[in-house]
Amino acid sequence: MMRKLDILLYTRASGGGGAERVWAILANGLAARGHRVTFAFDETTANDGVDPTVETIEVGERHPVAVLRLARLLRTRHFDVIAGAVSVSCVKLALAKVLALSRTPLVFSYHGFEEYKTGRLSAVGFYALPALAPLVRRFVGVSDGIVRALVERWHAPEGRTERIYNPVPLLAAASAEEIAARPPIVGAVGRLSREKGMDVLVDAFARLTTPGAILVVGGDGPERERLAEQVAALGIDDRVRFLGRVSSAAEVYGQSRVAAVPSRTEAFGMTTVEALSVGLGVVASDCEGSREILAGRYGTLVPVGDAAALATALDRALATAPDPGPGVSRAREFSAEAGLDQWERLFTGLAATD
């Protein structure tokens, strides 16, 4: 029987972005398996999705206050393992570990190629990685691409760096007949920020030749207003729908015939897996995360930022008879259960050597 652990997970918020969502899924899943899970975060979000069985602690958005509160927590509780997601949170958890004189095994989890650009502490998590390495028992990247970058560019110790794909709760698959009967809707889900490339998708959609095509976008973010202006300028207001924040990608993919993932950069791509899991054809930009998931067989890749190529591929996908089987099978390799199994094995192994 696997030992039940006392685990601390820490990141920026209780939900919202990709990494935060992953940490909430991990917290819920480990708690459901009988582990005692404490989920600490800087701020609470309205759509956190954290299960009541998970103990939650809000440590505050000010970095010094958060570090001190985390250190106090580490002094008063004996955790079997502690883990941070995204570099800024990893650095703060490492500082708290030092202040608390804690010997608890620490895991750093990296979720993006460009996290180092988002703030000074985020940069420390990359540029000072060799100096932080003695404090860290394992470095985790959410894709093989991230692991390569951590080892080759940022000098993470190769023997203590591994890949664990994000645990993705898969959506219910539709049949080929159901998908074929839908209107020619292109669905996209993601944060409306520059790195997600929604502006490229809007440009591409304006070039589509498929009669009656509609674009449905789920998500919110800082680019929302600019995207609306772009849609208006292109004269396609009547064919583009922004749904805002959605509770599940199923709200978009459940009505779509094809999924578009136009990201400029993507470390993994949970929405790509979700699109495959419902049986949709996927057209994605050729960035690391999408390339790794689609593996040259499960979707179509186009050059990053190339609206003309994206439009051509979307027209072709809309005209192609759906074949959900291969994509649905591929999505199972990234299921929540598969990811939870890997994280549980890692945490159990680290706790056993403590």
CA distance 319 to 321: 7
- Same domain (yes/no): 147, 48: yes
Query: Range of 155's domain?
Result: 6-167+335-352
Q: What average pLDDT does the segment 214-233 reach?
A: 96
Nearest to 192 by CA among 216, 222, 215, 217: 222
In 3D, which of 66, 60, 45, 54 has the Cα closest to residue 8? 54
pTM of the entire structure?
Answer: 0.90
Average pLDDT, the chain: 94
For residue 1, tell me if it sits in a domain: no
Contact yes or no for 241/252 (Cβ under 8 A): no
Residue 106, both tokens: 């620490």
Q: Quick one: average pLDDT of 103-112?
A: 96
Confidence tier at 1 by pLDDT (50, 70, 90): low
Asked whether residue 136 falls in the same domain as residue 198, the answer is: no
Q: How confident is the model at residue 307 (pLDDT cuts 50, 70, 90)?
A: very high
Q: Are 8 and 82 in contact (CB under 8 A)?
A: yes
More confident residue, 89 or 13: 89
| Contact status, residue 8 vs residue 79, Cβ threshold 8 Å | yes
241 close to 217: Cβ distance less than 8 angstroms: yes
- What contacts 236, CB < 8 A, 6 or more positions away? 202, 205, 206, 215
Do 188 and 308 belong to one domain?
Answer: yes
Domain count, the chain: 2
Q: Quick one: pLDDT at residue 13?
A: 83
Domain of 296, CATH number, reads 3.40.50.2000
pLDDT band at 113 (very low <50, low <70, confident <90, very high): confident
Q: Which residues of 109-118 are buried (b: 16+ CB within 10 A; e: fewer)?
A: bbbbbebbee
The pLDDT value recorded for residue 45 is 75
Residue 46 pLDDT greater than 70, yes or no: no
Q: Give the list of residues 6+ apart from residue 232 with CB closer than 8 angstroms, or none.
A: none
Q: Are residues 230 and 340 in the same domain?
A: no
Residue pair 270/336 in contact (Cβ under 8 Å)? The answer is no
Does residue 317 register a pLDDT over 90? yes
| Residue 251 domain flag | yes
Compute the average pLDDT of residues 211-231: 96
Assess whether pLDDT exceeds 90 at residue 68: yes
Q: Is the pLDDT of residue 14 over 80?
A: no
Helix locations, 100-223, DSSP H? 120-127, 129-132, 144-148, 176-180, 198-206
Lowest average pLDDT, out of 36-50, 104-118, 241-255, goes to 36-50
Q: What is the mean pLDDT of residues 253-272?
A: 94
